[in-house]
Chain A
Amino acid sequence: MSLLKEVTSLIRKEILLEWRFKYAINGILLYVVSTVFVCYQAFKSVDPTTWNALFWIILLFASVNAINKSFVQESRSRQLYYYTISSAKAVILSKIGYNILVMLLLSAIAYLVYSIIFRNPLGDPVLYFLVVILGSMSFASVFTMVSGISAKAGNNSTLMAILSFPIVIPLLLILIKVSKNAMDGLDRSVSTDELVVLLAINIITVAISLLLFPYLWRD
């Protein structure tokens, strides 16, 4: 129970910090909207497969940029302070939780802007939106751990990309496939297998992050 309390108060702290400066969140929202505009200006109209792939690529890069910062905004001494007052599990859970919230907001806005500007008929909008939500949660859980690793290794953004892209490719492949199914309006039973694999990958990554973060945190 105390872990839950620690996690919620840490998430509240993250949101409060972000709310005070609004720098990261505004920056990343602007990034998404301008990327959507660049793609729109460059492509004008695209076929459904490209539309889908483009959306996920935009979301992928936006999420890497959003989550990349999650361990570096705070100074070392403040991290040391967290280390003394809370457990490592609470820290990683709160980071994952906060990043999931950010990604949900980000992907909802990206989806909205993208589908308004870039008009494209969706066969099953509810399932598509569900896949977007699941996808942003999976990006958040994978990238949080990887950004923790790359932050310890001097945090250059090249390293973050090298480390995270191969890991996220299986997720991305499944997401593109399921969202294409949703786009074509296929029966939902076609996609259940993929959704189960997606959930399983999510659970595995969160579990491994929980197990490994205490070793990463200790420094």
Chain B
Amino acid sequence: MKHYWWKILAILLLLYSIIMGILGKVPALPIVHETIRNVYFHVPMWFAMFTLYLISVIYSIKYLSSNDPKHDLVAVESVNVGIVFCLLGLATGMIWANFTWGAPWPNDPKTNGSAIATLMYLAYLVLRNALEEEQKRGRISAIYNIFAFPIMIVLMYILPKNTDSLHPGAGGNSGFGDFDLDGSMKAVLYPASLGWILVGTWLMTLRFRIRKLEYQSHTAAD
């Protein structure tokens, strides 16, 4: 019970966010209408992705100072799961954009930025495949990962802020906080974000444990 309380919490938070997200009260707005409920699913994907990339870069730094292969495995699995969340975020965003902005891929800096950031992390995985020797692979991919992280922040969070963007809170648009006057949406959005972050971490730890077992049986066989 001590170890897995946060997994139960994740499931409860997700259940709460799905039920409250579909049944809860939302402000009536033009154009967006009921699709505003997508904010409970679209935004948490990006929170989860960011958390996983952050975990990845932390473990890359740890790997460089420790040379412990476990840290490298955590870093790569965080990126793997982070990419899945990024793709989910793009997918939910595209569905949403199709209803509100009229096209699944409007020329929006934030959308483009996240697609490019995904390319960067896919390049990280390609780089890993290009290197055969295990220690070299860990070290060089850790270096690239640390190098890519600030660029990802610039692409997704700094550049869209000072260009014209369709996303709320960017380019002079008002943020969601302006519509959510009584805080009823925040009461769903934040638990949902926490829930998805925990699920992402859970997935990452599962994948990490599988990889660790593979690694141990591999090294034991040699």
Contacts and interface: CB of A to CB of B under 8 A. Distances in A.
Interface of A: 145-146, 149, 152-154, 156, 159, 162-163, 165-167, 169-170, 173-174, 177, 193, 197, 201, 204-205, 208-209, 212, 215-216, 219
Interface in B147-179: 147-148, 150-151, 154-155, 158-159, 162-163
Interface in B103-144: 113, 116-117, 119-120, 123, 126-127, 130-131, 136, 139-140, 142-144
B13 to A, nearest CB: 33
Interface residues of B, number: 28
B127 A212 contact: no
Interface of B: 64, 113, 116-117, 119-120, 123, 126-127, 130-131, 136, 139-140, 142-144, 146-148, 150-151, 154-155, 158-159, 162-163
B123 A170 contact: no
Chain A interface main SS type? helix
Contacts of B158: 197
23 contacts: A145-B147, A146-B147, A149-B127, A149-B140, A152-B136, A156-B130, A159-B127, A162-B126, A165-B119, A166-B117, A166-B123, A167-B147, A167-B148, A169-B155, A170-B116, A170-B151, A170-B159, A173-B159, A174-B159, A177-B163, A197-B154, A215-B139, A219-B136
Contact of A215 (B143, B151, B154, B163): B143
Contact of B143 (A149, A156, A201): A149
Nearest to B142: A215
Contacts of A163: 123, 127, 144
Contacts of A170: 113, 116, 151, 154-155, 159
B122 to A, nearest CB: 8
Contacts of A145: 147
Nearest to A166: B120
Contacts of A167: 120, 147-148, 151
A153 B130 contact: yes
Closest 9 CB pairs of A and B: A166-B120, A166-B119, A162-B123, A212-B143, A153-B130, A170-B154, A169-B116, A167-B151, A170-B155
A163 B117 CA distance: 11
A104 B150 CA distance: 26
A170 B130 CA distance: 25
